[in-house]
Amino acid sequence: MTDLNSNRLVRTLADLKAAGKKALLPFITAGYPNLEATVALLHEFERRGANVCELGIPFSDPIADGPTIQASYTDALAAGVNSARIFAAVKRYRDEGGQLALIAMVSYSIVYRHGVQQYLADAAAAGFDGLIIPDLSLEEAPALEKTAAAAGLANVMLIAPNTPAARQIEIARHSRGFIYFISVAGTTGERDKLPEQTIAAVAELRKHTDTPVCIGFGVARPEMVAKVCAVADGAIVGSAIVHRITDHKSAEPEKIAHALGEFIGELLEPIR
Helix axes 116-126, 83-95, angle to 10 degrees: 30
Q: What does the alpha-carbon distance between residue 58 and residue 75 come to, in Å, rounded to a whole number?
A: 9
Instruction: Give the containing element (helix H, strand E) for 182.
Output: strand 179-182
Residues that are catalytic: 54, 65
Helix, strand and coil content of the chain, in percent to the nearest 5, comes to 50, 15, 35
Tens digit of each residue's pLDDT, the chain (272 residues): 467 989 999 999 999 999 999 999 999 999 999 999 999 999 999 999 999 999 999 998 766 567 889 999 999 999 999 999 999 999 999 999 999 999 999 999 999 999 999 999 999 999 999 999 999 989 999 999 999 999 999 999 999 888 999 999 999 999 999 999 998 654 444 445 666 788 889 999 999 999 999 999 889 999 999 999 999 999 999 999 999 999 999 999 999 999 999 999 999 999 99
CB within 8 Å of 54: residues ≥ 6 apart:
25, 26, 27, 28, 102, 103, 104, 105, 132, 236, 238
Structural domains in the chain plus CATH codes: 8-271 (3.20.20.70)
